Amino acid sequence: MKRIRQNYSNSVNHAMKKFFLMCVLLFCSFLSVVKAQDKDSLQQITPAPVSMKSEKDSLIFTNLKQKFSKHKLLRKIHDVLFRDVYNATTAGDEIVQIEDDPFKEYEGKVIRKIYVKRLRVFGETIADTTRKANNLERFVSAFHANTQESIIRKSFLMFNVGDIIDVDRLRDNERLMRQSTILHDARILVIPVPEFPNLVDLLVLTQDIWSLIADGEASSLNNFSLRVRQANFRGWGHSWTNTFFMNTLERPALEYRSNYTIPYIGRSFVTGQAEFEHFRNSSHYALRFSRPFLTPEMKVAGGLLVSKDYNRLMTFRAYDGTTFKQNDSTEFRFPIKSSLVDFWIARAYRVHFLSEEAQSRSRFIIGIRFSDINYQQRPQVSADTNQLFRNQRNYLVGLGFSNRKYKRDVLIYGFGLTEDVPYGYLASFVTGLENSDAFGNRWYAGLKFAKGEYIGKAGYLYGLVNMGAYSNGTTGLSIESNYFSTLHTFRRRTQVRHFVNLRYAFGTNRYTGEFINVNRENGILDVNSDRLWGTKKLGVSYQIVFFSRINFLGFRMAPFFQTDFAFVTPKNEFLLNKLPYTGVGLGIRLRNENLTFSTFQIKFSYFPNLPNVQTLNAAFSDTYNLRLRDFDIAAPEIVPFK
């Protein structure tokens, strides 16, 4: 538990490392100015840029540039600190929406050639193809190996030369590339061929993230950690993360964690991952392969997970869900050793009685799943004691219907990046049998419903209901709703969005020691208290974000205000019998488009009534990359209790 809390609370040092790296880059600009040639063989087919400018800002930055240009040193400082994006073109205002269907007019035409253009990590952007990297940005980008063109063609493209343009396939392909952990942004552009009206060329634009990231933390000279992540190993698209923990006061002093991921193996869209952890009191080994329904066109999905875990001294809180004392610290510790095999496969079918348009994005899905959890070491288990550690085999069958589409949008959870908003609906039914040494044989049945859509000019609304029950009376219910408004203009220069989220969860006849909490994204952001636990909860949060056009030292800014309310109680108490736990936050998010680092934030929070949490809190950390839920159906699953 200590390690889990530590991992959740360590974003501050991570963001400070990024900020320090930026400062180093700025200092290096005064020491090294390297000339480089831009070997761009595709300039003749690069389309007209999309611009992010305004006339007023253009005057400001033009005057500033003239003043700085009078001195050689000041001119270099200007080139590094300020991105002169306002004078690149005269195309108009900043992007606040994206063309929804740029491929429609080319549907049915044949692909003649496919070009792949890989932009530099720094200084260039897919949103404005006229932006050029300066000398420093070219110098720094040279230390990054872009994803190999052969990898992009082989593993990320869903079409070939000679294929007929399919609008849905191109849109899905763009979305999958943008979701990749190695690409900062991606876009597919159709280039007409004037001499051959039935032929088109495709230009695939990609921009990597900065792949090598190192960060760490230290509580003392004797206790520190270092994490090194290579998000695109040798340009192959592979991710390799290694974390080292050192505590010279313990034996052994060194602990280690490693994770190696291959996002897509060939053009199979199968992701492979190997995990290894070795700590003083625990170890973990896992190998997994997965292939979800990335697009409605995919007919087969599946996954396999094999893992082994050994916890030499696991901490277990003695809480049966009937009473919950804020100062209760009763704990038991015992060794746990287990192994897991989890396999599932699913098949998708077209629904032919629907309209032609609905058929292309709708599927009926049948899936099966088998999992085997076996404990070699554990505490004594019975029907009413330590049920979480039961040996069990689960046999599940799932039936579902899914309809999903995507709308390209901006300024939701990111700054200027293309964001794919899923809309549609799903309904699924899961049933099966659990065989365990705690309960014997018991049947399970569960239902899941979800829908999300743009509601006119009011914004986007998503709702989810997930419920399930075993034949012995163990149940689980979760309800979730997300809303964000359309962009509103505030004083001409700022775009505003409102966000509202709701979370509700409830369970009956749950297991000894099983809890739900309202920490972090489960209820109150920036909170990780070991006293906010129970068997039912309700959380509501509101946030308003001001996406400003201020560009200071290359950083885009977005001030925000947030408030969270959460109830959590044991099963013998009414959920709303007391005032909610509350959090209020005011801060500013920053993003440097040149750096391609994750957006980070400075936030001041006030928690008037949270146990074991400081009333006032200031944080400099990464943002929570919340993502809207999709409407794909994957492995048949038991309703999670969280």
The total domain count for the chain is: 2
Entry field: residues in the chain: 642
> Do 37 and 158 share a structural domain?
yes
- Domain range spanning residue 198? 33-53+88-208
Q: From 185, 208, 231, give the residue that closes a domain.
A: 208
Name the DSSP letter for residue 509.
Answer: S
Q: From 160, 178, 208, give the residue that closes a domain.
A: 208
Per-residue tokens: 360: 């292309």
What pLDDT, in 10s, does the model give residues 191-229? 999 899 899 999 999 888 877 777 777 777 888 888 888
Contacts by 576-582 with C-beta closer than 8 Å and gap 24+? 576/538, 579/609, 581/518, 581/523, 581/524, 581/532, 581/607, 581/609, 581/610, 582/524, 582/607, 582/608, 582/609, 582/610
CA angle 212, 213, 215 (to 5 degrees): 155
Q: Is residue 292 part of a domain?
A: no
Q: Is residue 198 part of a domain?
A: yes
Q: Is the peptide bond before 608 cis (omega within 30 degrees of 0)?
A: no
Q: Please tell me the distance from the alpha carbon of residue 634 to that of residue 636, in angstroms, as a whole number.
A: 7
Could you write out the three-class secondary structure of 292-357? CCCCCCCCEEEEEEEEEEEEEEEEEECCCCCCCCCCCCCEEEEEEEEEEEEEEEEEEECCCCCCHH
Q: Is residue 71 part of a domain?
A: no
Distance from chain centroid for Cα 366: 27
What DSSP letter does each residue of 192-225 carry, written as one string? Answer: E-TT-TTEEEEEEEEEEPP-EEEEEEEEETTEEE
Q: What is the CATH number of the domain that holds 428?
A: 2.40.160
> Do 200 and 330 share a structural domain?
no
Per-residue tokens: 564: 């969270």
Q: Is residue 480 part of a domain?
A: yes
How many C-alpha atoms does 358 have within 13 Å on its Cβ side?
11
Q: From 164, 193, 208, give the residue that closes a domain.
A: 208
> How far apart, in Å, are the Cα atoms of 94 and each of 494, 552, 557?
10, 16, 14
Q: What is the pLDDT of residue 626?
A: 57
- For the CA atoms of the chain, what is the radius of gyration? 26
How many C-alpha atoms does 596 have within 13 Å on its Cβ side?
26
Strand, coil or helix: what is 44?
Answer: helix
Q: Is residue 58 part of a domain?
A: no
CA angle 415, 633, 486 (to 5 degrees): 30
Check if the beta carbon of residue 460 is closer than 8 Å to that of residue 477: no
Per-residue tokens: 7: 């991992």
Q: Is residue 307 part of a domain?
A: no
Under-70 pLDDT residues of the chain: 1-101, 127-131, 315-332, 415-417, 551-554, 592-599, 620-627
CA angle 193, 95, 602 (to 5 degrees): 135
Q: Is residue 76 part of a domain?
A: no
Tokens 């952001």: give the residue.
Answer: 525
> Do 575 and 445 share a structural domain?
yes
Q: Is residue 632 part of a domain?
A: no
Q: What is the pLDDT of residue 467?
A: 96
Q: Which residues of 389-423 are buried (b: 16+ CB within 10 A; e: fewer)?
A: bbbbebebebebebbbbbbbbbbbbbbbbbbbbbb
Per-residue tokens: 396: 């599940």
Number of other CB atoms surrounding residue 266 within 10 Å = 9
Neighbouring residues of 220: CB distance < 8 A, sequence distance ≥ 6 = none
Q: What is the pTM of this model?
A: 0.74
